[in-house]
Structure 1
Amino acid sequence: MTSVVTELGQITTWLSGGTPSRANESYWAGDIPWISAFTLKQTRLSDSDQHLTSAAVTAGSKLAPQGAILVLVRGMALHREVRVGIATRPLAFNQDVKALIPGPGVDPEFLVYSLQARVALIRGLVSSAGSGTGVLDTSRLKRLPLWLPSKGEQVQIREMIAGADEQCDALAGLIAKKREIRLGMLQALLTGHVRLPGFDDEWREIVLGDHVSYLRTVPLSREQLDESSPLRCLHYGDIHTRASVRLDAATEAMPRAQAVLAGQAGRLAPGDVVFADASEDPAGVGKSVEITNVPAGGVVPGLHTIAARFDRAVLADGYKAYLQFIPNFRESLLRLAAGTKVLATTRNYISSVRLVVPGVEEQSAIARVLLDADAEIDALERRLESARAIKTGMMQELLTGRTRVPMEVDL
């Protein structure tokens, strides 16, 4: 059985993507999936939330062929995870993604698994841009060492890993379906189109600015944070990358900050809502978390955040976590942020929003129903995490040459 140790850049050709003009609406009415950080989340990539025409690809993007490996090289998600996938059909992609075309003798699926097996090494190549956005050093990534056996052994190895991968994909698909059901519940319950039994009081209109105070934030960069100080710090990037709308700051892993750096920043309390005040994507506008618990050492709102403390007599704890899903809330923020390169949210924008809401008892009941739905999804997420750990263990053995696959004939 033959094998070599090589470097990623020696066995791949690299392509850079782009974003066609948003001003030309016809560019965005095609059937070619356009991959961004928002959609590069699975091993096999075949579709996206946005699609381009052929003219758009020529004018401002790039087409990755089937079998290309797509790697996220810029985005806040890189501080948390490495995103790598394989194109199962020709796909367009933006400037935050690189497409790697495998060379002769390299099986594409073997290569994508090899990269996934080295996520710890790849994360070590991530640094922060001035805004806190993660940047993957592509020149160093090209020098990433890879073990490359014969083509036949590559195929056998990736077929073995594919079984574990299929289980992960099945769980991910189930989670996606549960999220769709949850989204339907959110839209129905938060707009009053569906009322819970026992509630028939008329909803009332409020202006958020009449019922909120804001805490002082502290603009600490990633480089100023640490892992050992008692004081925790909530960075806007961590709001964007988390799935849960609630944050138990007392038990969840969070970046830390020295108290002297935090200065006069406000200390968060249970019930506070912390918004990310900037987003590179419309889907991130209004993204927020509600604080459910705080540690003895305290927690402060960090870079690019807005910390809001709403009147509990008007907005119930638990319900506030879902403000971001009320259609009128997001639409109002998107309308105010329109025209800016980075979509911004401000205190004034939040304060100006008018919402029609139920009484606090009905709000609490709605929050309990949605919390149950979230708990079901969280349980599936834990199963998926376990399945991925098993897959990772297989990859670390098979994709490094530590455990070899018996071969009869090389392909």
Structure 2
Amino acid sequence: MLPDGWKHATIENLGAKGKPAVKAGPFGSSLKKEYYKPFGYKIYGQEQVISNDENYGNYFIDENKYNELKSCSVSPGDILISLVGTIGQTLLLSNSCQQGIINPRLLRVSLDKDRIIPAYIQYILASNYTQNILKRWAQGGTMGVLNAEMIKTFPILLPPLPEQKKIAAILSTWDRAIEGTEKLLANSQQQKKALMQQLLTGKKRLPGFTGEWKICSLSDVATVQTATSKTQYICENGERFIVDMGSVNRLGNLVCTKSTQHNADLLPKGTLVMPKDDIGGGNIIGRTSYIDRDDLYVLGDHVYALHIGDCDSKFLHFLINSHPINKNLRRRANGTAQLGLGKKDVLRQKIKIPSEFSEQKAIAAVLTTADEEITALESDLSRLRQEKKALMQQLLTGKRRVTVD
């Protein structure tokens, strides 16, 4: 049953008179690379849609070619839809968008702005519900493809204009909150990267520390343990977690999913775990995760456990995950279908560490605080996205009505 005042429509019904609601880009032969110019009328393609930035990219055509392809031109408030590969992604053009045309990989949706709020339609097209339908509709083998007819006939639940406007404004507020949190997260990640480059090399010293740093091998401060597969001990609702090749991600975070009751090869707090094998990539080899609790984790196969002696283990965790050290370790990995890092190659790795244990600990504390800030922002971002998703499901279906001034 339709909410009061709402009606059924399709995208095709929502266009302005004299202009098709949905228009595909020109045939590829009409827009060859040889027509591209260093300036002129902008060519909009997937790069703008995927980056969500209408100013991205620098492909242009001259006035003659623009006039020839003017049926594919764009206006403020048009919605661009990606047709190939990353299908269904959308971009709403602003009032200050550059004059130009779409390329063959995009569709343009032009709406009658006297009765339609373009941002409302974009939210419908970007919703999980719509995206799932578009992916099912996409045709082709390994690369999905949409076409104009699919979008034209897409069904829309359309509230009155004032309600469209209010819903779009509410969701836009959530978008700004998400965008702000994304920027804070990116800044925090960049700041941590800069701190690691400065603090882990001795280029920047924390107040009160002046002693020399020493060069040594990992074998001077760590021993390496291996273990056998624990697959046979996996069980539901186990009290412990198995640490294996898939338990360390590219950021050095511990992401264990296999639980167990097994109580052999238990890892003490302060142990570092390092994937020694990686099928088809090498992106996690040599990364470490820090074990933060005694006897909660069980060592499995394809992973080294580094037991740390004359060094702060948290400091060493950050040092090994720093770009130059991790790059050296990954270079030593060898193999074809499966890359592998030898124990001797790990123990030979040269490192430079503060002579004072207290300085190691202080550096680790600064970087741990940076990690905690990043984790908190990631949690905030995940929550905002989930809340926006739930709100969209309610507002765009009329299950939750808004008060219109």
The change in CA–CA distance for 1:327 and 1:389 in structure 2 (over 3 A counts) is: closer
Does structure 2 retain, via aligned residues, the 8 Å contact 1:269–1:293? yes
Quote how far apart the aligned CAs of 1:358 are.
1.5
Query: What aligned pairs does 1:256-295 form with structure 2 within 5 A after superposition?
Result: 256-259=258-261, 266-276=265-275, 277-278=277-278, 284-294=284-294
**Aligned-partner residue type, residue 228 of structure 1:** N
Does structure 2 retain, via aligned residues, the 8 Å contact 1:272–1:310? yes
CA distance in 2, matches of 1:100, 1:346: 49
CA distance in 2, matches of 1:381, 1:370: 16
**Aligned-partner residue type, residue 149 of structure 1:** L
SS in 2 for 1:318: helix
SS in 1 for 2:352: strand
The change in CA–CA distance for 1:317 and 1:339 in structure 2 (over 3 A counts) is: closer
The change in CA–CA distance for 1:381 and 1:257 in structure 2 (over 3 A counts) is: closer
CA displacement, residues 229-287 of structure 1 (integer Å, 9 cap, x when unaligned): 2231235444217x6x565xxxxx9523344xx696x2222111122332766764533
**Residue 398 (structure 1) aligned with residue 403 (structure 2):** no
* TM-score with structure 2 setting the length: 0.59
Which one of 349, 354, 364 corresponds to residue 358 of structure 1?
A: 354
Query: What aligned pairs does 1:146-161 form with structure 2 within 5 A after superposition?
Result: 148-150=156-158, 157-161=167-171
Q: Which moved more, 1:359-368 or 1:157-166?
A: 157-166
**Aligned-partner residue type, residue 299 of structure 2:** P
The change in CA–CA distance for 1:176 and 1:218 in structure 2 (over 3 A counts) is: same
**Aligned-partner residue type, residue 321 of structure 1:** H
Does structure 2 retain, via aligned residues, the 8 Å contact 1:215–1:308? yes
Query: What aligned pairs does 1:224-303 form with structure 2 within 5 A after superposition?
Result: 227-240=236-249, 245=252, 254-259=256-261, 266-276=265-275, 277-278=277-278, 284-294=284-294, 298-302=296-300
CA distance in 2, matches of 1:293, 1:205: 30
CA distance in 2, matches of 1:236, 1:270: 19
Aligned alpha-carbon RMSD (Å): 5.2
CA distance in 1, matches of 2:9, 2:237: 41
Quote how far apart the aligned CAs of 1:225 are.
5.1
The change in CA–CA distance for 1:232 and 1:205 in structure 2 (over 3 A counts) is: same
CA displacement, residues 297-348 of structure 1 (integer Å, 9 cap, x when unaligned): x322346x423223321x2132132033334312212322478576654434
Which one of 204, 207, 219 corresponds to residue 217 of structure 2?
A: 207
CA distance in 2, matches of 1:159, 1:341: 51
The change in CA–CA distance for 1:325 and 1:256 in structure 2 (over 3 A counts) is: closer
Quote how far apart the aligned CAs of 1:109 are.
3.5
Structure 2: gaps (5+ residues):
1-5, 11-21, 25-43, 60-78, 94-104, 112-117, 134-143, 145-153
Quote how far apart the aligned CAs of 1:185 are.
0.6
**Residue 68 (structure 1) aligned with residue 82 (structure 2):** yes
**Residue 114 (structure 1) aligned with residue 124 (structure 2):** no
CA distance in 2, matches of 1:88, 1:272: 50
**Aligned-partner residue type, residue 384 of structure 1:** L
Does structure 2 retain, via aligned residues, the 8 Å contact 1:70–1:87? no
1:183: which partner in 2? 193
CA distance in 2, matches of 1:43, 1:406: 33
Does structure 1 retain, via aligned residues, the 8 Å contact 2:80–2:109? no
Does structure 1 retain, via aligned residues, the 8 Å contact 2:285–2:330? yes
CA displacement, residues 70-125 of structure 1 (integer Å, 9 cap, x when unaligned): 9999xxxxxxxxxx965689xxxxxxxxx997989998742564218999x9xxxx
CA distance in 1, matches of 2:166, 2:362: 53
* TM-score with structure 1 setting the length: 0.58
Quote how far apart the aligned CAs of 1:148 are.
3.8
Does structure 2 retain, via aligned residues, the 8 Å contact 1:114–1:395? yes
SS in 1 for 2:196: helix
Does structure 2 retain, via aligned residues, the 8 Å contact 1:279–1:285? no
SS in 2 for 1:323: helix
Quote how far apart the aligned CAs of 1:167 are.
0.4
**Aligned-partner residue type, residue 82 of structure 2:** A
The change in CA–CA distance for 1:34 and 1:320 in structure 2 (over 3 A counts) is: farther
CA distance in 2, matches of 1:254, 1:318: 19
Does structure 2 retain, via aligned residues, the 8 Å contact 1:147–1:401? no
CA distance in 2, matches of 1:230, 1:164: 39
- Which protein has the bigger strand share? 1
1:388: which partner in 2? 385
Does structure 1 retain, via aligned residues, the 8 Å contact 2:124–2:130? no
Which one of 330, 345, 350 corresponds to residue 326 of structure 2?
A: 330
Which structure's CA Rg is the greater one?
A: 2
Q: Which moved more, 1:275-284 or 1:325-334?
A: 275-284
The change in CA–CA distance for 1:284 and 1:311 in structure 2 (over 3 A counts) is: closer
**Aligned-partner residue type, residue 269 of structure 1:** P
The change in CA–CA distance for 1:148 and 1:364 in structure 2 (over 3 A counts) is: same
**Aligned-partner residue type, residue 267 of structure 2:** L
Quote how far apart the aligned CAs of 1:194 are.
1.1
Q: Which moved more, 1:212-221 or 1:185-194?
A: 212-221
The change in CA–CA distance for 1:300 and 1:403 in structure 2 (over 3 A counts) is: same
**Residue 320 (structure 1) aligned with residue 316 (structure 2):** yes
